[in-house]
Amino acid sequence: MKVQPLSRPCMRSRNPSPQGSIPFGSWPDALRLWPSRFLAGLVLFVCLLVLPAAPARAASTADASPRPASGAPSLERLFNQALASSREGRFGEALSLWNQVLEIDPQDAPALSNRGNVRLALGDPQGAIGDQDQAMALDPFNPDPHLNRGTAEESLGLWQEAAADYAWILERDPQDSSALYNLGNVQGSLGDWQAARLSYQAASEARPGFAMARSSAALAAFQLGDLEVAEQELRSVIRRYPLFADPRAALTALLWSRGARGEAESHWSSASGLDPRYRQSDGLLQIRRWPPRPVHALEQFLALASPSA
Task: Please state the domain extents for the chain.
Answer: 1-60+68-192, 210-309
Length of the chain measured in residues = 309
Those residues with Cβ within 8 angstroms of residue 308's Cβ, 6 or more apart along the chain or in another chain: none
Please name which of 77, 108, 81 lies closest in space to residue 95, comparing C-alpha atoms.
Answer: 81
Compute how many other C-beta atoms are within 10 angstroms of the C-beta atom of residue 305: 15
Low-confidence residues of the chain, pLDDT below 50? 1-5, 8, 10, 12-28, 36-71, 306-309
pLDDT at 19: 35
Q: What is the pLDDT of residues 198-230, one digit of tens each?
A: 999 999 999 999 999 999 999 999 999 999 999
pLDDT at 61: 29
Contact between 89 and 31 under an 8 Å Cβ cutoff? The reply is: no
Contact between 38 and 101 under an 8 Å Cβ cutoff? The reply is: no
CATH ID of 1-60+68-192, from 1.25.40.10, 1.20.1050.10, 3.40.50.300, 3.40.50.1820: 1.25.40.10
CATH ID of 210-309, from 3.40.50.1980, 3.40.50.20, 1.20.210.10, 1.25.40.10: 1.25.40.10
Contact between 86 and 117 under an 8 Å Cβ cutoff? The reply is: yes
Contact between 61 and 24 under an 8 Å Cβ cutoff? The reply is: no
pLDDT at 6: 52
Q: pTM for the complete prediction?
A: 0.80
pLDDT at 188: 98
The two domains 1-60+68-192 and 210-309 share their CATH topology (first three levels equal): yes
pLDDT at 43: 22
What is d(CA 12, CA 22) in angstroms, rounded to the nearest whole number?
Answer: 15
pLDDT at 60: 31
pLDDT at 30: 56
Compute how many other C-beta atoms are within 10 angstroms of the C-beta atom of residue 189: 19
